[in-house]
Amino acid sequence: MIGQSGIAVKHVSRADAASVAELAKHGVATIHEAMGRVGLLHSYMRPIYPGAAACGTAVTIFAHPGDNWMLHVAAEMLKPGDVAVLGTSSENTDGMFGDLLATSFRARGAVGLVIDAGCRDTGELRDMGFPVWSRAVHAKGTVKATVGSVNTPIICAGVLVHPGDVVVADDDGVVIVPKQHAAKAAAAAAASATKEAGTRRRLAAGELGLDVYGMREALAKAGLKYVEDETALQQELQK
Amino acid sequence: MIGQSGIAVKHVSRADAASVAELAKHGVATIHEAMGRVGLLHSYMRPIYPGAAACGTAVTIFAHPGDNWMLHVAAEMLKPGDVAVLGTSSENTDGMFGDLLATSFRARGAVGLVIDAGCRDTGELRDMGFPVWSRAVHAKGTVKATVGSVNTPIICAGVLVHPGDVVVADDDGVVIVPKQHAAKAAAAAAASATKEAGTRRRLAAGELGLDVYGMREALAKAGLKYVEDETALQQELQK
Amino acid sequence: MIGQSGIAVKHVSRADAASVAELAKHGVATIHEAMGRVGLLHSYMRPIYPGAAACGTAVTIFAHPGDNWMLHVAAEMLKPGDVAVLGTSSENTDGMFGDLLATSFRARGAVGLVIDAGCRDTGELRDMGFPVWSRAVHAKGTVKATVGSVNTPIICAGVLVHPGDVVVADDDGVVIVPKQHAAKAAAAAAASATKEAGTRRRLAAGELGLDVYGMREALAKAGLKYVEDETALQQELQK
Amino acid sequence: MIGQSGIAVKHVSRADAASVAELAKHGVATIHEAMGRVGLLHSYMRPIYPGAAACGTAVTIFAHPGDNWMLHVAAEMLKPGDVAVLGTSSENTDGMFGDLLATSFRARGAVGLVIDAGCRDTGELRDMGFPVWSRAVHAKGTVKATVGSVNTPIICAGVLVHPGDVVVADDDGVVIVPKQHAAKAAAAAAASATKEAGTRRRLAAGELGLDVYGMREALAKAGLKYVEDETALQQELQK
Amino acid sequence: MIGQSGIAVKHVSRADAASVAELAKHGVATIHEAMGRVGLLHSYMRPIYPGAAACGTAVTIFAHPGDNWMLHVAAEMLKPGDVAVLGTSSENTDGMFGDLLATSFRARGAVGLVIDAGCRDTGELRDMGFPVWSRAVHAKGTVKATVGSVNTPIICAGVLVHPGDVVVADDDGVVIVPKQHAAKAAAAAAASATKEAGTRRRLAAGELGLDVYGMREALAKAGLKYVEDETALQQELQK
Amino acid sequence: MIGQSGIAVKHVSRADAASVAELAKHGVATIHEAMGRVGLLHSYMRPIYPGAAACGTAVTIFAHPGDNWMLHVAAEMLKPGDVAVLGTSSENTDGMFGDLLATSFRARGAVGLVIDAGCRDTGELRDMGFPVWSRAVHAKGTVKATVGSVNTPIICAGVLVHPGDVVVADDDGVVIVPKQHAAKAAAAAAASATKEAGTRRRLAAGELGLDVYGMREALAKAGLKYVEDETALQQELQK
C-alpha cells in the first residue's frame, strides 16, 4: 500500500536509456504537453537555483516529517543517472538534504534530487552544481529515528512515482514519465519540438497565432465579439 | 461590467508617450509613493528572473482558469511598447504563457507580460530577455475552450487596470498608473527622485533620518522614551 | 513585556567580537546543528538576492504593520558590524525598508537587515550589495505614525531575539545565537565543520553514510526490511 | 483614483429597493451565475458563523493596515439596509471590527459587514446576530492614525465595489451587483431560480443531468469514451 | 496513466459491504492508525459543516480546473452507498458542486462527496444533510468544456484513489482504504477501538499515559532529564 | 536556551488564582487591548469548535514535528486549572492530540490545550467539551521517538510563553498574560470592560463613535475631507 514504511527494494527496473537521453533534450513543459498534460508535480516545487536541470531515472524515497534517515538508505540504491525523489507522510519543510548527502549522492552517480520537503546548504549545492527541486529552503536539521521506505511507489507533490520512472526537471518544475510510457513520450516530445520550431518561426515573422492555429472561426462560434473602440465597449458593458 | 466575457476591443487610447518615457526612468517604489501610495499589485506577483524590468501601455486580458485562448486574441491588439496584463475569473496557477506566445508578442512589439496566473518556459524567456511577472511558475498546459475578453477593464492581483494605462514593473513588483494621471504621476516621480537623490547624499554622509526628516519632536510627542541601557530597560519592562 | 511599545534603548551589550568572527566562517545550517537545532527563523524568511550573507550583532526593532518609523530610530543605535532585526505586532508585507534606509544603515556600519515584513528597492539593494532577509518583496510604502521599540527583546519569524545576539544569515535563512552562548556556539560550529570535512572526504570517495555513520544495525532494529526486487515488493505490499 | 485617501462622500445613490428585495431571496451562487459568473469576492472571505446572510447596499471604506479609523467615519454614512464593505491598501488580518462598532452600525441600521481584513469579538457578534464576512478572525487591536476614504470606489477581495452597489452574502461567500445592473440581475436570478426548481425536481426523481441538460452528444464529440470495466480500462491506460 | 482524460468506466469492483459497514463504525483517526498511518488526504480537505460523516465506496472523477462536466458523467456511475471523489489536473477552488448535483447524487444513492476543489450552495447542502469535504467553499460557477475521466485511478489531495476503494470521512478529514485491504483494515480498526476503550478507562481514572504505555524507561534512555523547579531549569539553560 | 530539548520541570510557579479568575471574565480582545496590544498568538490558531473558551495557567511543551511524546510527559505536570501550550521545533500539522490524551488531561484537571500543530478526534473533543486551539485539524498520527521539553519557555504561534503564564482563549483566538503582569492585566481588563459597557450603551442609543471618542478634529487635521456626493467625488478623483 502506498505509504507503507519499512521496506527498501534493492533492484528496480529503470526506463530505457535511449528514452531518457531523448527526454533530456526537451523541457518540462514540452514533455508534459506531449504526454497529454499529465505527470506534473505541484507548482510549489522550485529549483534551488536558476538554470537547474536534470533528467534521470527515479529512486523513490518515503520519509516522515523531520526525519531524513531514508535518504541515507537510498544512497546505496542510487546508480549513475538516477534522480532521487522523496515524498513524505505529512507536510514538512525541514531541511532533510544538504551538501554532505549531495556529496554522497554525486559519488554514487546521482544527477539530482526532487524533495517534497526542505533543502539546506543551498549555497554549497549551487557551487557544486547539484540540482535540487524542493518545497522550501530551510536550514532546520532532522533526526534519524523512524524508518520509511525506498524504491516503493510514492506520491510526491501530487504525482504518483514508481522507482525507475523518468524524472525531468528544469526552471519550470518537475514532470514524471512512467517508465512503461517513456519511449512513447520521448517520441511525442521530439515530434512536438519539431512542430513547435516551425510554429516559432512563423510567429517570429509576425504571423498571428489566430491564423497559425486557425482559431478565428472557433472564437466567433464561442461568442467572441469584436468592437471597434472604447466607446463601443461602453455600449456593450451597459447592456 | 468587470469580468464580462466575450468582447475584444480593437482600438484603445493609450497613455501619452512622453509620460511613459519619463515613468520608465523610475522604479516601482518611487512611482507608487509619488502617486500617493496607490496602484500596486499584490506582492505575490514576482518577476520570473532577477533584474526584469518593463514599462509600457496596457493591453488587458480577462481569462478563465486553465484557458489561455484570450492571449492569442490579445496578440493581434498589441502595439509596439505595450505590456499585456491578464486577470482571471478565479485563482489559477496554470502556465498560460510560454516561449511561443512570447515570440509572437515580441514580434508584435510587446515589451512584457503581467499575468495573475502561471507562466512556463521560464528558462527560454530568461534567455530571450522577455520579462514576465506572474503569481506562479508552472509548466501546466491549458485549453482553448472558453472566451474571455480583451481590452476591457480588469482586476489584476487586486488592482483595476484599464487598457492603455501605464504598467511599470521591476524587481519590486508592478504598479499601474491610470492613463489620465500619467503625466501628473511622471512629474511627481521625477520630482521625488530628485528629492531622494539629495536625501541619499546626506544619509550616505552619515546624517540620521531622524534629523534629515526632523522626526525627533514627533517621536517624543508620540510617546517614545529613550532609556540608557538594558538595566534601565528591565525597570521599564517591569512597570 | 515583549511587544511593549515606546522604548528605545541607547546602549546594549553585544556578543564578543571573537565569537562573531568565528561564527561568520560557518553556514546557518552548521551553526543551527552545532547549537542543538535551535534558533532558526521560519523558512519564509528569504534573502532578496542569491548569495546574500551576513553575520553581526543584533539591533532589535519592534514595529507596527505598515509603519516604518522605528527603522529611523534604530539607525541611530547601529554600530559597525550590527545587523538590524525587525519584528512586527501583526503579520504584514509592506515594504518598510528601501535603498535610502540602506544608505543610512551602511553609513552607520550596519552589515544587513532581517525583517519580518516586506522590503523594497531590491534591485538597488542588490546593486549596493546590502543584504536583506524578508518575508516579502513589496514596493508598498509605509507611514510614520505609531511608535514601537528599539533594542528590546522581540519575536522575529518565530524566534526570540535580544539586542546584541549574533545574527547569522545566508542562502539557507537566518539563525540567532544568544549572546551569552556565542562563544560556546562558535566553538561547536568550528568543531562540527572540522568533523564534517572528514565525513565529506569519505562520502566523496564513495563510502556510504550507512557505513560512515554506522546506521545499519539501528535501521534493522527499527524494522527496515530489504527486499530484492519489485516482484518481492509486490508480495510485501499485498501482505 | 482607486485607493486615494482623504475623502468621505456624504451622500451616494443606492440600488433601488425593489431589486435589493428580490436579490435578497436568492443565494450568492445563483446570483453570480445569473449575472454571467462575475462579481464574486475571493474564496478566502468567510462568514464568522454558519448561516450568516445579508443583502444590502454598499457603504464603501478604504483603510490602511492596522488602522480602523475609517470604520468610525463610515458609521455616520450608514443608512438602514446598508452593508459596509472595507478594502485595504495592503494585506492585513488585524481585527479592525468588534462588538462596539457592530453596536454602532446596528443602531444606524446596517445589516452586515464585508471586510478584507480581520474581525474580532466574534462570539459576541454571533450572539448579536450581526453577520460579518472577513479574511481572518483575529483579536489584534488597531490604531486610529491614518485617514483612508469612505464611499469611494474600492477593491475588496479582488472585486471593484462602488458605493450603493448591492452586496449579497451567505455561507458561500460574497457577490457584488453593480447598482446600475441590479434590476437586470434580480430578474435573471429570479428566472434562474424558477428554472432550477424544475431541474431539481427532475434530478430528485432520478433523471440524470446528462439527459436533463442533453450532454451526451457533446461529451462524445469532445472525446469521452466509455469502457465497460476495469479490465477494459487497463487496455486503454496501456495504449 | 494517471491523469489521462477521456475515459469513463461503467462498472467497477467495490470493497465488500461487510468491511464498509465495519469501517463506518470507526473514526478517520482510528482507521488511519490501524492501517499503519497511511491513506490520509491533506489537512486542507475540510467538511462543509460540523459533524459531517460518510463512509462508502469510491466513484472517482478526474476533472480540469473550472470545469465540472465530469460530475454529471459520474452521476450515472453512482450506486447506493457510493462516495464520489474528485481530483483535478491543477489546483483550483471553483465551486464545481452545488445543491442540484447533490440532489442528483442523492437520488442515485450516493452518501457524500470528497472534492479537491471548491463547493457551493453549502447552506442548502447542510440543510439537505449531504456531506461534502472540499478544499474551499466558493460560489464560483464552472464551464462544461473539457472532458476528464470517471472511475480511473486518481490523486486526490495527495492520495491515490482507485474506484471501489473505501472512503471514510468525518470532522477530522478523509482516509482512503484500498479495496483489497478493506477487510484487514476493518478488523484492525475494530481491534484498535477495543484496545482504545480500555486505555480510555484507565486514563479517565487518572492513570498516566507514561505508566499505561510504559514510557518512562524509554524517555530516560532518550535523554529526558527531570529537574525540580524553575531555579534548577535556569541552571540547565545556562549550561 | 529557547528550544532546548531534554528537560522536564516538575514544579513551576503559576499566576495567582484571583487574577486568573478575573481574566476568565473577559474576552481575548479586551485583555489584549488592556495589556497594550501585546501577547496575541497568530491568527491561524483557531478553536476546534465554535464557542470554545478557556482560561488557565500554562504548562508549556516543546515538541518535534510528527512526535507527540512530550504531551504524555506533560500530563504528569498538569494541575487543576492548567492549560497545556505546545510549540514545535518546525512547522507541522500532524494530529498530535486526540480524545485519549484529552481524557487523560481532563482527569488531571486541565481545562484546555493550545497547540501550534494539528489536533484530531475533533468530533469526540467537541462532544466531551474539551476545548483546543490548533493550527490545523488533521487525523495524521505521530511517533514517540524524540524528546522535547516540558515547562521550559517556548514560542507558540509567535508568542513567548513561560510556564505558569495565564492563557486566555475564546472564539477570537489566544492571548498570553505573563504571570508577573497578571494582576495588573486583570485590573486593566476589568476597567476596560466597565468603560466599554458605557460606550456600548451610548453607541446602541445611536451616538456616533466620532462624537463619543471625539475624533472629528483629529480627522480634519489628518486631512480627511468631506464631499457632498458622487459628483463632487468625481471632481476630487480627477485632481
- Residue C132 pairs in a beta bridge with C113
Average pLDDT, chain C: 96
How far the first Cα of chain E sits from its last, in Å, is 57
Q: What per-residue confidence (pLDDT) applies to C235?
A: 85
**Inter-chain CB proximity C91 and D89 less than 8 Å:** no
Best mutation target, A5, A69, A135, to test chain C (most C CBs within 10 A): A69
Which chains does C contact via 3+ CB–CB distances below 8 A?
A, B, D, F
Residue identified by cell 526486487 is C229
Residues of C with Cβ-Cβ distance to A163 under 8 angstroms: 230
Q: What's the ipTM?
A: 0.95
Q: What size, in residues, is chain B?
A: 239
> D30-57 b/e with 16+ CB inside 10 Å = b?
bbbbbbebbbbbbbbbbbbbeebbbbbb
Q: What per-residue confidence (pLDDT) applies to B96?
A: 97
User: F155 touching C, CB under 8 A?
Assistant: yes
Q: What size, in residues, is chain E?
A: 239
**Inter-chain CB proximity F4 and C89 less than 8 Å:** no
**Inter-chain CB proximity A89 and F67 less than 8 Å:** no
**Inter-chain CB proximity B29 and C95 less than 8 Å:** yes
pLDDT tens-digit map of B133-183? 999 999 999 999 999 999 999 999 999 999 999 999 999 999 999 999 999
> For C47-62, what is the mean pLDDT?
98
A66, A90, A143 ranked by CB distance to F93: nearest: A90
Residues 6 or more apart in contact with residue F40 via CB below 8 angstroms: C90, D138, D139, D140, F28, F32, F159, F173, F174, F175
Neighbours of D67 (CB within 10 A): 28
C-alpha D31/C-alpha D191 separation (Å) is 10
Tell me chain D's radius of gyration from C-alpha atoms: 22
Nearest chain E residue to A181 by CA: give it: E1
Nearest chain D residue to C143 by CA: give it: D146
pLDDT tens-digit map of B79-95? 999 999 999 999 999 99
Q: What per-residue confidence (pLDDT) applies to F3?
A: 85
Nearest chain B residue to A223 by CA: give it: B6
> For B102-131, what is the mean pLDDT?
98
Q: What per-residue confidence (pLDDT) applies to A238?
A: 72
How far off is chain A from E156, nearest CA to CA, in Å?
8
C-alpha D28/C-alpha B3 separation (Å) is 16
Q: B93 with B134: CB under 8 angstroms?
A: no
User: What are the C-alpha distances in Å from E72 to residues D137, D218, E84, E102, F161?
Assistant: 37, 13, 11, 11, 52
**pLDDT exceeds 90 at position F67:** yes
Number of H helices, E strands in chain C: 9, 13
How is chain C split among helix, strand and coil, in percent rounded to 5? Answer: 35, 30, 35
* DSSP secondary structure letter of residue E42: P
Best mutation target, D90, D96, D144, D147, to test chain C (most C CBs within 10 A): D90
Residues of A with Cβ-Cβ distance to E91 under 8 angstroms: 42-43
User: B206 touching C, CB under 8 A?
Assistant: yes
How far off is chain D from F74, nearest CA to CA, in Å?
28
C-alpha A143/C-alpha B84 separation (Å) is 49
pTM (two decimals): 0.97
Which SS3 state, helix, strand or coil, does residue C8 take?
Answer: strand
Cell numbers of C21, please?
Answer: 568572527
How far off is chain D from E158, nearest CA to CA, in Å?
21
> For E109-134, what is the mean pLDDT?
98
How far off is chain F from E176, nearest CA to CA, in Å?
12
pLDDT tens-digit map of C156-203? 999 999 999 999 999 999 999 999 999 999 999 999 999 999 999 999
Residues of E with Cβ-Cβ distance to A158 under 8 angstroms: 155, 158
**Which of D71, D61, D152 has its CA nearest to residue F213?**
D71
F66, F93, F138 ranked by CB distance to A66: nearest: F66
Q: What size, in residues, is chain D?
A: 239
Q: Which residue would you say has higher pLDDT here, F9 or E235? A: F9
How far off is chain D from F224, nearest CA to CA, in Å?
4
> For D40-57, what is the mean pLDDT?
97
Pairing of strands D149-150, A82-88: unpaired
**Inter-chain CB proximity E92 and B90 less than 8 Å:** yes
Q: Does an H or E element contain B13, and which?
A: none
Q: What per-residue confidence (pLDDT) applies to D148?
A: 96
CA geometry: angle C216, C218, C221, nearest 5 deg? 110
C-alpha F226/C-alpha D147 separation (Å) is 12
Residues of D with Cβ-Cβ distance to C143 under 8 angstroms: 64, 145-146
Q: What per-residue confidence (pLDDT) applies to A185?
A: 97
Q: What per-residue confidence (pLDDT) applies to F234?
A: 87
User: A49 touching C, CB under 8 A?
Assistant: yes
Residue F235 CB burial class (10 angstroms; 0-12, 13-18, ≥19): exposed
**Inter-chain CB proximity F145 and A145 less than 8 Å:** yes
Average pLDDT, chain A: 96
User: pLDDT class for C18, splitting at 50, 70, 90?
Assistant: very high
**pLDDT exceeds 80 at position C3:** yes
**Inter-chain CB proximity C225 and A7 less than 8 Å:** yes
**Which of D155, D135, D3 has its CA nearest to residue B158?**
D155
**pLDDT exceeds 90 at position E2:** no
Number of inter-chain CB pairs under 8 A, D vs F: 131
In DSSP notation, E51-101 reads: T--EEEEEEEEEE-TTB-HHHHHHHHH--TTEEEEEEESS----EEE-HHH
C-alpha B141/C-alpha B149 separation (Å) is 20
Residues of D with Cβ-Cβ distance to C89 under 8 angstroms: 66, 140
pLDDT tens-digit map of E5-37? 999 999 999 999 999 999 999 999 999 999 999
pLDDT tens-digit map of C204-235? 999 999 999 999 999 999 999 999 999 998 88
Ramachandran area for residue B158 (φ above 0: left; ψ -120 to 50: alpha; else beta): left
User: What are the C-alpha distances in Å from C81 to residues C33, C161, E132, F107?
Assistant: 24, 17, 57, 54
Number of inter-chain CB pairs under 8 A, B vs C: 130
How far off is chain E from B59, nearest CA to CA, in Å?
25
Q: B199 with B182: CB under 8 angstroms?
A: no
**Inter-chain CB proximity B91 and D4 less than 8 Å:** no
Nearest chain A residue to E179 by CA: give it: A1
Q: A114 with A85: CB under 8 angstroms?
A: yes
**pLDDT exceeds 80 at position C238:** no
**Chain B residues 79-108 with CB within 8 Å of chain E:** 89-94
User: A63 touching F, CB under 8 A?
Assistant: no
**Inter-chain CB proximity D5 and B89 less than 8 Å:** no
Residue identified by cell 476630487 is F236
**Inter-chain CB proximity A38 and E91 less than 8 Å:** no
pLDDT tens-digit map of F216-225? 999 999 999 9
